[in-house]
Amino acid sequence: MGEAILFWFFGGLTCVLALLVIVMRNPVHSAMALIGNLFCIAALFAMLDAHFLAAIQVLVYAGAILVLFLFVIMLLNLKDHELGNARQTATKIAGAILLCWVAFKLIFRVMPSTTAGFPAVGDDYGTVETVGRFLFGPHLLPFEVASILLLAAILGSVAIAKKKLW
Amino acid sequence: MESSFPILSLLLWMPLIGALLILLVPRDNPKVARNLALAVSLLDLVVALVVFFSFNPLARGTQLVEKWTWIEGLGVSYHLGIDGISLLLVLLTAFLAPIAILSTYRAVTDRVRGFMFSILLLQVGMLGAFLALDVFLFYIFWELMLIPMYFMIGIWGGARRIYAAVKFFLFTLFGSVLMLVAILVVFFTYHAQTGNYTTDLYLLYGTQFPVSVQMWLFGAFALAFAIKVPMFPFHTWLPDAHVEAPTAGSVILAAVLLKMGTYGFLRFAFPLFPEAAVRFVPFIAILAVVGIIYGALVALVQKDIKKLIAYSSVSHLGFVMLGICALTPAATSGGLLQMVNHGISTGMLFLLVGVIYERRHTREITEFGGLAKQMPWYAFCFMIATLASVGLPGTNGFVGEFLVLIGTFNSDALPVLFGSPMAGQVLAGVAGLGVILGAIYMLWMVQRVFFGPLANPANQKLKDLSLREAVVMVPLIAVIFFIGLFPNFFLSRVEPSIQAFVQDVRHRSQLAQKIDREPARLATHILEEVRHDQ
Amino acid sequence: MDIKTSILLWIPLLPLFGAIVNGLFGRHFSRPLVSAIGCGTVGMAFVLGLVASADIFASNGEARLVQSVYAWITAGNISIQLSFLLDSLSVIMVLVVAGVSFLIHVYSTGYMRDDPSHARYFAYLNLFVFSMLVLVLGDNLPVLFVGWEGVGLCSYLLIGFWFEDPAKASAGKKAFIVNRIGDLGFLIGMFLLFGAVGSLSIDDLRAGTAQGLIAPGLATAACLFLFLGATGKSAQIPLYVWLPDAMAGPTPVSALIHAATMVTAGVYMIARLSFLFAISPTASAVVALVGGLTALIAATIGITQKDIKKVLAYSTVSQLGYMFVAVGVGAYFAGIFHLMTHAFFKACLFLGSGAVIHALSGVQDITKMGGLRKKLPWTYWTFLISTLAIAGFPPFAGFFSKDEILWKALSSTSHAPWASWVHLAAYGMGILAAAITSFYMFRLVFLTFHGKSRLDPSIHVHHEMKSMSYPLAVLAGLATVAGWVGASLFGIHSFADFLDPVVGAAQKTAVVMRDFAHNHSIEWAAAVGSVAVAFIGLGLAWLLYIKSPDTPWRLAERFRFTYRLVFNKYWVDEFYEAFIIRPIHAFSVFLWRIVDVVIIDGFGVNGPARLLKGIGHVGRRLQSGNVQAYAFWLFAGVAGALLYLALAVGVI
Amino acid sequence: MITLQHYLVLSAIVFSLGVAGVLLRRNALVILMSVELMLNAANLALLGFARQLGDTTGQSLALFVMTVAAAEAAVGLALVLALFRGRGTVNVDEVRSLRG
């Protein structure tokens, strides 16, 4: 029962904050909402026994990526008139609504409804050790490729940010 | 039949090595790039000559075969080989490359490395297409030729080069895409019949198709090749491409690239789908004859020398196609020889037009007149090329045209295929009118360019052929007369392959059996007895 | 292969060698050296011809030499040897060709002395001799055809020798193209024969004909196509139009190519294939009829021409007509006989006219000459002798050969049902043409050499040159005596006997004698008749051009239309221009401008391109450049796919 | 009882909100943040499935997604910076170089 309360709490908060991210006019506010959203998702991760990832979520997202966002926002120091208005066209809103509607319909109808909860898992599920063994065992190659990807992203963003592209 | 030394591979890849070396040459040193390209093409010619002389003229099949598995799962192999049909065309390609390169020494001054790279890459494509005995390999080389030629026209061409290059590209691509589809159908049909995947040409020859399917497949192949030949009414890319292409591009385009189409008919379209082929022969033969007359008539009224020669190519290639369609050894040998002849004489004409274009920057016939006075050696060379082109006996053109016409005229296949006893006679007769028209448009052009008063002041200071230009012409003239006087040197090497081709197509299309039911028209054997009695 | 046989190849090769040397290096040689190479090689060829023909003369035409040099074209069932044949027929041709060529080469050293393109001239001339010798020596039709086209090429080059004059270059081109039309006929004839016999060698064709491999209908078709070739080469109706224009070339060329040798190739070819023409009475009759018509019509045109060379050109056409009458009525040896005598007297006439033109620095209009008899005595006397020969006065050569032809036409018929009439008609036209020939030839002599000088006073008459006079004398001598070898009227049959091994059998097949054929009194009467018409022509010419020189102009005024019709050569050139050349040209422009540019390129090629471009223009609106719009379409696509999925499984 | 379905629906909602943000907002920064939302939604679903199956592979996969997200954010933000320097705006409506 406690699990359900936590899920509904964090789940509802996640939805609200995600909505705030996309409706706030000022990007700083959006970023703040996003931080909250990420924390809630981290909590949900923890509820799914992914403790390690929950930690990473907080560290990487809230700690690194969001800080990056905020740095950029401050660097740009946008004036009020530069923020612009979200001039949504009717077609786009209609399209978005249609998309959501179809998606929900599908999700509720297509998937087999189960009432059973999650099966039990071992204590070591989602621990740093288990995930680490996976990463450095069968997934070693993708892991190293990911590091190269990050390196490329670092170099790329430095190169792009230094140049005047347009 | 495995040859110990992969000489065909050497022949094929040497230009590519040269092309890569050219990329290493510094940008500001065009001279080195030119000389390197020339050296590589000359070396390649030497290799081609070695191939030519190591070819056994008596054997029927493919020789100097090299075969290695390439893509095992699809049965694709790296399969090269040469027979009498490809032998001549390979030699022609290797022979013309140094000449074309030498002709660019003054004409191409911009992006020389790129040009030389293109020309050598083009040579790889052409040689590969002639040597490949694997459909997949052939298709790769076939498309490979397209790219350098496209750039040669599009970058080093004349004023409307983009239009011409795109037109050339799209025409060819249009046909070759259909051919690709047909290749895939053949490939999967073979798999359905035998359970194996292969793209080896000789294995695919054995595939059995219902005639209705064959018709579609042959149609797809024939369209691709007919565009390349080009046959009427798919010829309109040719005048544009020739007019806009640089001289070397025109030479290679006319001399070798067009032969891809006719070669394709001989190597692929006819042997792969013999039953459909013989059903299509009446249409192709009629189109060929229409092309002969049409090209000649349109050439008659051209104002641009290059365009005139381009339309004359349409006419000449019509003879080649007619020779193939006649399905007699004489006519088909003549058609094959005519491919080479056209390459030599038309290539030479384009070179000569290039010479005058470098001096005057125009090709309008009305701009000239009386050049024979100012440039006697130039006029001499032009005259010889003209005479070869109109098929004067003693030059190469005569032998080819004569064999095509006499073979068509007395073909035992055409009357059966047309269902009319006079078919061969009528076709040859109408095609013969093309010979007359050929003399008319060529001589009229020669007269307007070379004879009459030297009125235009711009022409009064023209210089005659330089040493380099003369060096380019001499081998061509020598070959013109050599083939004209000693055609058997080549015909004897071609004969077994052509015999095999004709018999194979006739036999597998049931044509031979139909002909046997016809009353004998040739009374050669009676004559033999007469001779014997005397 | 013994020496005499291997000589054959060298007969044509020597002039070819001369042509190559003079053509490539001649401009660096001195003029005498060029002339020496030119004349020497041809002279050597003549000597070699004599050496090679010794056996044939000794055996009175029975012997023959065949030299097979190498296999030229072998493909499928076609096998063509490069081989030469010397028999009595080709002996005559080789000696006439090489001999007359030699004389004309010598003449040319004088005539072309001051021309800047001296070396080129001799190269062309030698090349011509080479081609002509190949033509007459060819052992099979393709080799003969090599020479056949080769002489056409040389004719083209030599007519347009002074190419800076566009009219002359055009005349050369016209000659080549008209010849090509005939050549196609020749080719088709060859193909037909090959289809029937499977070989193109003369001997095989002869054997095949004897074995009946060639059906009569096929023989007629083949002969008519071959004859089309002959009409082109030998300037007969309807393809004679090039020959008068061909006079644009240097005069020795006209003498050699357009009078003595090349234009007789058609006659030679028919004589060579006489066995074939003999089995087709229909084709033979056509040959005779066309020959007779050409003889008559060309002669009438000759009456009105003012250019000294044009008169001779039409006279050549007319005389060639006689030869065709001869081979048409089956008198093959008579055709060759006339060919030989004509070669001598017509070459002499042309060279004489050349001497006149040379002396007058290029004047060719006979109405502006007159009274040259005293100033050019050599020319006058040789010209007169040749005129007497061509007009048919005994004892000059032309009388014997022409009389032989006319008598054979009169006294024979063939197996074709209407041949009897055709032969009579040919005889009638021939005798009429003989009268006209005599008339216009003496008109030419009188206007040129007699009467008062009408020369432009500014013209200085040059002296005659020895290099030009000696060949004239030799030819005039031949024009006098050459007829005697075959004067059957006096019972001399040596010429006919000599040719008998080649054409005799064919002659027997082709000809049906009329009942009076062996009646000598009728033969004599016919001969007297042809001499009489010659006198009539002479008398008329004397009346009109010596006695009362004003009458011709009055007659021309009186019969204005007829005069203009004839003077303008019956407007045949104009007819060809309007009804053949112009329509072809217009049709070609139509093909190019309409079919190529509008239909194929416009609808077939650029049409789809434009359609695609139009679609592209519509599609371009979608490309707003707004990345979000692209993303929107992306997600809209996903939504669409999901919707489809939902509908498909019946969720919604 | 909280089942896998709950997590999946939650994930779908967050994903859809992300999509809506990408489509409707003009501010390049907010668009990037919306993309982060979408990636997180995907991760949530991934971990849900992993928990259901008891398979740790899903977790390591989620880690890679985060790596990609980090890289994406870095490059994307660099682009925004460059865009702002060049055009003086972060409004994607004004960037129309792709216009056909």
Over the stretch C53-64, which tens digit does the pLDDT of each residue have?
Answer: 888 888 888 888
Check CB contact under 8 Å for B373 and C164. yes
Give dist(CA C132, CA C149) in Å, integer: 10
Which residue shows structure tokens 């089995």? Answer: C279
C67 contacts C5 by C-beta, under 8 angstroms:
yes
Check CB contact under 8 Å for A105 and C649. no
Is D19 in the A-facing interface, judged by CB distances under 8 Å?
A: yes
Q: Which of A100, A116, A161 sits opposite D3 (nearest CB)?
A: A116
Q: Looking at the structure, do residues C608 and C543 belong to the same domain, yes or no?
A: no
Question: Residue B503 is encoded by which pair of tokens?
Answer: 């018999």
What is the distance in angstroms between the Cα of C93 and the nearest Cα belonging to chain B? 21
Query: Hey, which chains touch D, using 3+ CB pairs under 8 Å?
Result: A, C
Which of B170, B440, B451, B456 should we substitute to test contact with C (largest number of C Cβ atoms within 10 Å)? B451
Q: How many CB atoms lie within 10 A of CB C640?
A: 14
Average pLDDT of chain B, as a whole number = 88
* B394 neighbourhood in chain C, CB within 8 Å: 146, 150
Q: Looking at the structure, do residues C272 and C389 belong to the same domain, yes or no?
A: yes
Check CB contact under 8 Å for D7 and A99. no
Q: Looking at the structure, do residues C354 and C313 belong to the same domain, yes or no?
A: yes
Q: How many CB atoms lie within 10 A of CB B184?
A: 11
Query: What does the pLDDT look like over B225-255, one tens digit per residue?
Result: 999 888 888 888 888 888 888 888 899 998 8
Give dist(CA B94, CA B99) in Å, integer: 9
Domain-located, residue C370: yes
**Longest Cα–Cα distance in chain A:** 56
Burial of A122 (C-beta count, 10 Å sphere; 0-12/13-18/19+): exposed
pLDDT above 70 covers a percentage of chain C that reads 98
Asked if B touches D (at least 3 Cβ pairs < 8 angstroms), the answer reads no
What is the distance in angstroms between the Cα of D100 and the nearest Cα belonging to chain A? 18
Question: Residue B258 is encoded by which pair of tokens?
Answer: 């067009």
Among C247, C292, C328, C267, CA closest to C434: C292
Check CB contact under 8 Å for C601 and B236. yes
Domain-located, residue C39: no
Q: How many CB atoms lie within 10 A of CB C9?
A: 17
Instruction: State the pLDDT at residue A67.
Output: 87
* C630 neighbourhood in chain D, CB within 8 Å: 98
pLDDT above 90 covers a percentage of chain C that reads 26
Q: Looking at the structure, do residues C390 and C511 belong to the same domain, yes or no?
A: yes
pLDDT above 90 covers a percentage of chain A that reads 22
* A86 neighbourhood in chain C, CB within 8 Å: none
Find the mean pLDDT for residues C308-321.
91
Among B437, B427, B398, CA closest to B289: B427
Helix (H, G, I), strand (E, B) or coil at C74: strand
Give dist(CA C533, CA C450) in Å, integer: 22
CA B115, distance to chain mean position in Å, is 22
Closest residue in C to B404 (Cα) is C75
Instruction: State the pLDDT at residue B288.
Output: 94
Between C and D, how many residue pairs show a Cβ–Cβ distance under 8 A? 32
Instruction: State the pLDDT at residue A166.
Output: 54
Is C631 in the A-facing interface, judged by CB distances under 8 Å?
A: no
Helix (H, G, I), strand (E, B) or coil at B158: coil
Instruction: State the pLDDT at residue B525.
Output: 47
Give dist(CA B381, CA B372) in Å, integer: 11
* C620 neighbourhood in chain D, CB within 8 Å: 100
Instruction: State the pLDDT at residue D99.
Output: 58
Which of C613, C618, C628, C632 should we substitute to test contact with D (largest number of D Cβ atoms within 10 Å)? C628
Instruction: State the pLDDT at residue B1.
Output: 43
* D93 neighbourhood in chain C, CB within 8 Å: 626, 628
Query: Which of C567, C588, C619 is at the close of a domain?
Result: C567
Q: Looking at the structure, do residues C354 and C233 belong to the same domain, yes or no?
A: yes
Query: What does the pLDDT look like over B157-203, one tens digit per residue?
Result: 888 888 888 888 888 888 888 899 999 998 888 888 888 888 888 88
Indicate the number of domains in chain C: 2
The tens-digit pLDDT sequence of chain B (534 residues) is 444 688 888 889 999 999 999 888 888 788 888 889 999 999 999 999 999 998 888 877 788 888 888 888 888 889 898 988 999 999 999 999 999 998 888 877 788 888 999 999 999 999 999 999 999 999 999 999 988 999 988 888 888 888 888 888 888 888 888 899 999 998 888 888 888 888 888 888 888 888 888 899 999 999 999 998 888 888 888 888 888 888 888 999 988 999 999 999 999 989 989 888 988 999 999 999 999 999 999 998 888 999 999 999 999 999 999 999 999 999 999 999 999 999 999 999 999 999 888 888 888 888 888 888 888 899 999 999 999 999 899 899 999 999 999 999 988 888 888 888 888 899 999 999 998 999 999 999 998 898 888 888 888 888 888 888 888 899 999 999 999 999 999 998 888 889 889 988 888 888 878 877 765 544 444 445 545 554
What is the distance in angstroms between the Cα of A88 and the nearest Cα belonging to chain C? 11
Query: Hey, which chains touch B, using 3+ CB pairs under 8 Å?
Result: C
Asked if C touches D (at least 3 Cβ pairs < 8 angstroms), the answer reads yes
pLDDT surpasses 90 at D56: no
Q: Looking at the structure, do residues C603 and C533 belong to the same domain, yes or no?
A: no
Check CB contact under 8 Å for A68 and D6. no
Domain-located, residue C155: yes
What is the distance in angstroms between the Cα of C603 and the nearest Cα belonging to chain A? 41
Domain-located, residue C276: yes
Helix (H, G, I), strand (E, B) or coil at B83: coil
Output DSSP code: residue C368.
Answer: G
Check CB contact under 8 Å for C645 and A103. no
Residue C587, domain extent: 573-649
Instruction: State the pLDDT at residue B533.
Output: 52
Strand partners, B80: B66, B132
Query: Which of C567, C592, C625 is at the close of a domain?
Result: C567
Q: Looking at the structure, do residues C507 and C628 belong to the same domain, yes or no?
A: no
Instruction: State the pLDDT at residue C386.
Output: 92
Report residue D12: phi and psi, to 5°: -65, -40
Query: Which of C527, C546, C567 is at the close of a domain?
Result: C567
Between B and C, how many residue pairs show a Cβ–Cβ distance under 8 A? 181
Check CB contact under 8 Å for C652 and A105. yes
Rg of chain D (C-alpha set): 17
User: Rounded to 5 degrees, what angle do the CA atoms A49, A52, A53 make?
Assistant: 85
* D26 neighbourhood in chain C, CB within 8 Å: 628
Q: Which of D3, D37, D71 sits opposite A18 (nearest CB)?
A: D37
Q: Which CATH number fits domain D4-87: 3.40.50.2020, 1.10.287.3510, 1.10.1740.10, 3.30.70.980?
A: 1.10.287.3510
Average pLDDT of chain C, as a whole number = 86
Instruction: State the pLDDT at residue B2.
Output: 46
Query: What does the pLDDT look like over C579-635, one tens digit per residue?
Result: 878 888 888 888 888 888 888 877 877 888 888 888 888 877 777 667 777 787 888
Q: Which CATH architecture has domain A2-165?
A: Up-down Bundle (1.20)
Helix (H, G, I), strand (E, B) or coil at C613: helix
What is the distance in angstroms between the Cα of D70 and the nearest Cα belonging to chain C? 21
* C77 neighbourhood in chain B, CB within 8 Å: 328-330, 522, 524
What is the distance in angstroms between the Cα of C635 and the nearest Cα belonging to chain D? 8
Q: Looking at the structure, do residues C444 and C340 belong to the same domain, yes or no?
A: yes
Closest residue in B to C27 (Cα) is B376
- Taking only residues 26 to 65 of chain D, the set having a beta carbon closer than 8 angstroms to any beta carbon of chain A reads 26-27, 29-30, 32-34, 36-37, 40, 43-44, 47-48, 50-52, 54, 56-57, 59-60, 62-64
Check CB contact under 8 Å for C624 and D96. yes
* A163 neighbourhood in chain D, CB within 8 Å: 82
A83 contacts D27 by C-beta, under 8 angstroms:
yes
Q: Which of C623, C628, C632 sits opposite D100 (nearest CB)?
A: C623
Check CB contact under 8 Å for A105 and C646. yes
The string of DSSP letters for C579-609 reads IIIHHHHHHHHHIIIIIIIIIIIIIIIIHHH
Q: Is the dihedral of CA C642, C647, C649, C651 positive or negative?
A: positive
* C632 neighbourhood in chain D, CB within 8 Å: 23
Q: Looking at the structure, do residues C372 and C224 belong to the same domain, yes or no?
A: yes
* C199 neighbourhood in chain B, CB within 8 Å: 524, 527
Predicted TM-score of the model (pTM): 0.82
pLDDT band at A122 (very low <50, low <70, confident <90, very high): confident
**Longest Cα–Cα distance in chain B:** 77
Q: Which of C619, C622, C627 sits opposite D92 (nearest CB)?
A: C627
Report how many helices (DSSP H) and strands (DSSP E) chain C contains, helices first: 29, 4
A17 vs C521, residue with greater confidence: A17
Domain-located, residue C35: no
Distances in Å between the alpha carbon of B20 and those of B9, B29, D45? 16, 15, 52
Check CB contact under 8 Å for C625 and D99. yes
Check CB contact under 8 Å for C75 and B330. yes
* A4 neighbourhood in chain D, CB within 8 Å: 1-2
CB neighbour burial string for C260-283, b if at least 16 within 10 angstroms, e if fewer: bbbbbbbbbbbbbbbbbbbbbbbb
What is the distance in angstroms between the Cα of D92 and the nearest Cα belonging to chain A? 11
User: Rounded to 5 degrees, what angle do the CA atoms B396, B402, B408 make?
Assistant: 140
C412-413 and C512-513 beta bridge pairing: antiparallel
Strand partners, B79: B67
Give dist(CA B31, CA B50) in Å, integer: 29
Strand partners, C85: C66
Find the mean pLDDT for residues A24-42.
90
Give dist(CA C342, CA C486) in Å, integer: 14
Q: Which of A92, A95, A102 sits opposite C642 (nearest CB)?
A: A102
* C642 neighbourhood in chain A, CB within 8 Å: 99, 102-103, 106
CB neighbour burial string for B150-182, b if at least 16 within 10 angstroms, e if fewer: bbbbbbbbeeebebbbbbbbebbbebbebbbeb
pLDDT band at C3 (very low <50, low <70, confident <90, very high): low
What is the distance in angstroms between the Cα of B347 and the nearest Cα belonging to chain C? 22
